Amino acid sequence: MTKFETLQRYQLIEVLLQWEGAFCSNHLSDYFGLGRPQVSKVINTYLSEINATNFTYDAKRKRHIATDTFTPIVTQGSVDEYLDFVYRLSAHNATLADSVFCLPNAEFLPMPRFAIEPEIFKGINRAIAQQSRIEVDYRSVNAPNKDGRIITPHAIAHSGVRWHVRAYCEKNHDFRDFVLTRFVGEVVEEGPSEINPADDKAWHTLVDVEIVPHPYLTEEQQAVVARDYGMTDGKRVLEVRASLLTYLLKMLQLNIHEEMPNETIDDETKQKEGKAKQVMVANRDELKRWVF
């Protein structure tokens, strides 16, 4: 069992204790597919290595119960951690999730899975590890036919919907994003690359996106939105790589090229627009150079 696997098991113990107040051996067994001896070992090592006073065993209920002094050690104590565990198991087996978690009727929108060719990903991933050049065929909506090119990939990133490869493209003479599912054919190794990933300024530049409530909302409405987004002093700052900024804006449905609020329109129109958008980017001018 790796340290990462052990950590995940400790984390499940803590999120169940914090948000449901208890856990039993079956929870660990069902979630991770463990046998009874393995479950006992996980519980005992948590008590001996992490915290001996976070829970006690209730023989009558056959449950490990959170104590009044329970303190998260290997988790952050956030609701998202609990929901992430629920989501991961629900996506795999919704029936099994119901047996592990007491959260009723947890439903998640189905997301399309984009098929990545295993051999293509293997070739790209190895090229990243070895910092080598590869020849690949690539298709896009603008160029749907096979388009051969030589690239030096150095990172992968998820846009919130799909996986992308960040690579230097010898055809375009710059660093670009490539959608992983759009590579076709075979990956041909072309030897070591002289491209330095550190020269990819857009990847290595971190930018702050300042999100604020839309000014067309009333003060009361802005307060609601500020709470939704976890804002402090009326704004929420998200740090993102400049090369991923466009994807973040799309995920949040933010347009930094739209016209600034027009104070001449009537109140009813302002309300409709404010409710529809709810938030806007305050520092749009400094971000425009990075948006494609």
Q: Where are the domains of the chain?
A: 3-100, 118-200, 205-290
* Low-confidence winner among 96-100, 205-209, 229-233 (lowest mean pLDDT): 96-100
- Please provide the CATH number assigned to the domain covering 118-200: 2.30.30
Statement: residue 105 has pLDDT above 70: no
Sheet strands side by side (includes 206-213): 236-241, 206-213, 279-281
Query: What average pLDDT is seen over the chain?
Result: 91
Fold of the domain spanning 3-100 = Arc Repressor Mutant, subunit A (1.10.10)
Residue carrying the six token digits 């050049």: 133
Please give the pLDDT value at position 124. Answer: 96
Average confidence (pLDDT) over 216-220: 94
Share of the chain above pLDDT 70, in %: 97
Q: Are residues 291 and 258 in contact, defined by beta-carbon separation less than 8 angstroms?
A: no
Highest mean pLDDT: which range of 32-36, 105-109, 132-136, 261-265: 132-136
Q: Which residues contact 124 (CB under 8 A, 6 or more apart)?
A: 134, 136, 153, 156, 165, 180, 183, 187
Q: Vertex 251, ends 292 and 277: CA angle to 5°?
A: 100
* Low-confidence winner among 78-82, 143-147, 193-197, 266-270 (lowest mean pLDDT): 143-147
Statement: residue 187 has pLDDT above 90: yes
Statement: residue 192 has pLDDT above 90: yes
Statement: residue 262 has pLDDT above 70: no
Share of the chain above pLDDT 90, in %: 77
pLDDT, tens digit (0-9, with 9 covering 90-100), for 1-31: 578 999 999 999 999 999 999 999 999 999 9
How far, in Å, CA of 128 to CA of 154, rounded? 5
Please give the pLDDT value at position 170. Answer: 96
User: How much is the pTM?
Assistant: 0.79
How far, in Å, CA of 97 to CA of 149, rounded? 45
Task: Please tell me whether residue 137 adopts helix, strand or coil conformation.
Answer: strand
Residue carrying the six token digits 């998640």: 108
